[in-house]
Structure 1
């Protein structure tokens, strides 16, 4: 889908729907619209017509807010004019560059908690600002800092597009991130571009390509960098999907060696900074995919760490994924009833991004293959919450 669809409408629609306590299915019944169409609107996969927005306004008693958003799309010329004015006023001072780099870290730290459709316009705005600054008069030092900031923002934007299943936009911004990183001679961003591509093709079922890309990323990534650790973990995932348990274990052993003395970073939620909790979470996913008997114990420990009170914890997206991992391990261990309960919790949390719904589908398929009568409960939850089910 075109990345020019304004995600503010989807964020507002989701907020008004949730205020009324409505699921997508119930809203669809009230508004006489399909659940899949409403999902596309909320995820910024499709632009609303003004008539549709007005109709949803009436159903949700939104006071015309949705119609105003649909009738007033993003004014790109105005945004660009504002950015040019900011560039002229800033003269690319050290303070401006510091604020840009702080903004990059803030956005990367928001990734685990913010809905992709809400995060996308913020990343887009920051990236546009960096682009305008690069068009101005800058010193070589300033230019490199801007190239690095732009590279991080572009790879983050590509990741968000992948989460929204907007692959054309994702590919374009991964290329932009790679080009910026090459100009800045920044190996870690180059490695993250390769690792992100590896994850994307892995979710599409091309496991050999994922393996190749993850190995390329390891060769490019600086020694000791988070990118090298992540790419090694991605290699383990690829081996798990291929079904080679021995190679999976060996890759996980390398991840453990790389993270053995790794301190918890100042901002552990930062998407591009590896931390010990993330290492264990990736191990749980990988072992569950490989069908390793040790997956259940690791997955339980991860879920307890991420969500000790059962309310989603500080990283609700990771918690939802951890529930799916543990559910998959439990099915393999002959405990489909608990697997269904965990799967339903993940699905109904609203924290499973579009690019990860295949994991819920895989859990459902495994539960149904087991012949457990509880499978119907998970199927009902998926039909209620999953996009385009």
Structure 2
């Protein structure tokens, strides 16, 4: 049974033990939750259950079923009739029938429909975990997890709650929709990305959360950038800056996005003005607690964006900058390596090397990026630029690059 519980947890959309612990607490009756252990203790209990050292008691079996959407029999095997943790009578009273079990469960859910602070805190923490997993997770896998939480938030919208609780729930839904849109763009799925961005913007407006609203504009600008709509990307990046709080990450990211769009347009003065603004904004920033968090701008991102921007502009200064960025991503002084960002950094370096007439190394770096398994469809156009440039030079490496690019595109369609 322990192996089965672990298998269920690790199946798509995949939950960490910490995520499952928070979901189990959030699924409990608010009156019952006060007597439950907190998340760290629950994580240890989950470890014991999955190792087969202990069996979950009836309370946790019911919570497992509610969270996973599976029956208790499927999770734990068929068992003789037993007392329910939410029984209406004395300690020895059992459910008389399936119909009675369903009726009592319905009554319990109606009585326990309030959305309390503990549920909201768990959801807010989950948003942070998902946003922090973005740089290292395949977009398909991360999107499956996001959708699971979006469904749960949607169900909670019908529950009773205070105005402040509803606003917090709406904000959670906004962040989740925004992150879902980002994954859709990574996958090259435009219609669902647009739908998720609209939802995120609407929820941001309902929740009065202008930072999310600014991020929706910045994300749309990034999507246009990947599609070659550079002037429109500049316009949206500027709109995002107009909306964003001046001390927030969205403002910095939108400024950097504007610089990248100007670089694609070949406008050196505007590009450098945007880069200078980013540098001034980033200079006083401390390193955030979770630098891998997609919606928290850390100073290291500034170097990566500058390398990308200068490589697109054809500036020779991009070569040493891109080398330094790649080295720090693969061998960070603190925190985990960031393989997805490293794959993109290899493409930046390849493009910069082409500008510096070092085409042999450029081809090698591009091959490494395409063979890493870390490039998402939204980056394929950047790889295509390197392939085209190497082909135009008539280099023998062009054949290998073409083959790698075809395999890259084919794997994205599988």
Which TM-score applies when normalising by structure 1?
A: 0.76
Question: Offset at 1:144?
Answer: 1.0
Asked whether 1:248 is paired with 2:271, we answer yes
Contact (CA 8 Å) 1:259, 1:276: kept in 2 or not? yes
Q: Which position in structure 2 is the counterpart of 1:217? A: 240
Question: Offset at 1:89?
Answer: 4.5
Question: Offset at 1:9?
Answer: 10
Task: Give me the whole-angstrom Cα distance separating, in 2, the residues matched to 1:354 and 1:226.
Answer: 25
Asked whether 1:203 is paired with 2:222, we answer no
Task: Give me the whole-angstrom Cα distance separating, in 2, the residues matched to 1:287 and 1:294.
Answer: 7
Give the direction of change, closer, same or farther, for the CA distance of 1:85–1:170 in structure 2 (3 Å limit).
farther
Q: Which position in structure 2 is the counterpart of 1:324? A: 347
**Larger RCO (alpha carbons 8 Å, 6+ apart):** 1
Contact (CA 8 Å) 1:87, 1:133: kept in 2 or not? no
Q: Deviations over 1:39-80 (max 9, x none)?
A: xxxxxxxxxxxxxxxxxxxxxxxxxxxxxxxxxxxxxxx69x
Task: Give me the whole-angstrom Cα distance separating, in 2, the residues matched to 1:266 and 1:138.
Answer: 31
Contact (CA 8 Å) 1:11, 1:117: kept in 2 or not? no
Q: Write the mapping of 1:308-347 to structure 2, written as runs, cut at 5 A.
A: 308=331, 314-347=337-370
Q: Which position in structure 1 is the counterpart of 2:330? A: 307
Contact (CA 8 Å) 1:306, 1:318: kept in 2 or not? yes
Asked whether 1:117 is paired with 2:137, we answer no
Give the direction of change, closer, same or farther, for the CA distance of 1:371–1:87 in structure 2 (3 Å limit).
farther
Question: Offset at 1:319?
Answer: 0.3
Contact (CA 8 Å) 1:199, 1:210: kept in 2 or not? yes
Q: Write the mapping of 1:289-304 to structure 2, written as runs, cut at 5 A.
A: 289-304=312-327
2:135 alignment partner, SS class = coil
Q: Which position in structure 1 is the counterpart of 2:302? A: 279
Contact (CA 8 Å) 2:128, 2:293: kept in 1 or not? yes
Q: Deviations over 1:274-306 (max 9, x none)?
A: 001111101111110111111111101100110
Q: Deviations over 1:195-217 (max 9, x none)?
A: 00001011111101100000000
Bigger Rg over Cα: 2
Q: Which position in structure 2 is the counterpart of 1:382? A: 405
2:179 alignment partner, SS class = helix
Contact (CA 8 Å) 1:10, 1:117: kept in 2 or not? no
Question: Offset at 1:230?
Answer: 0.3
1:159 alignment partner, SS class = helix
Asked whether 1:235 is paired with 2:254, we answer no
Give the direction of change, closer, same or farther, for the CA distance of 1:348–1:182 in structure 2 (3 Å limit).
same
Q: Which position in structure 1 is the counterpart of 2:377? A: 354
Q: Deviations over 1:169-217 (max 9, x none)?
A: 1111100000000011111000000000001011111101100000000
Asked whether 1:190 is paired with 2:213, we answer yes
Q: Write the mapping of 1:96-111 to structure 2, written as runs, cut at 5 A.
A: 96-111=119-134
Q: Which position in structure 2 is the counterpart of 1:161? A: 184
1:135 alignment partner, SS class = coil
Task: Give me the whole-angstrom Cα distance separating, in 2, the residues matched to 1:384 and 1:375.
Answer: 14
Task: Give me the whole-angstrom Cα distance separating, in 1, the residues matched to 2:258 and 2:406.
Answer: 32
Task: Give me the whole-angstrom Cα distance separating, in 2, the residues matched to 1:225 and 1:87.
Answer: 40
Task: Give me the whole-angstrom Cα distance separating, in 2, the residues matched to 1:88 and 1:366.
Answer: 66
Q: Which position in structure 1 is the counterpart of 2:199? A: 176
Question: Offset at 1:384?
Answer: 2.6
1:274 alignment partner, SS class = coil
Q: Which position in structure 1 is the counterpart of 2:58? A: none
Task: Give me the whole-angstrom Cα distance separating, in 2, the residues matched to 1:281 and 1:328.
Answer: 14
Structure 2: gaps (5+ residues): 1-9, 15-68, 71-101
Count of residue pairs the alignment pairs up: 313
Structure 1: gaps (5+ residues): 1-7, 13-77
Give the direction of change, closer, same or farther, for the CA distance of 1:203–1:278 in structure 2 (3 Å limit).
same
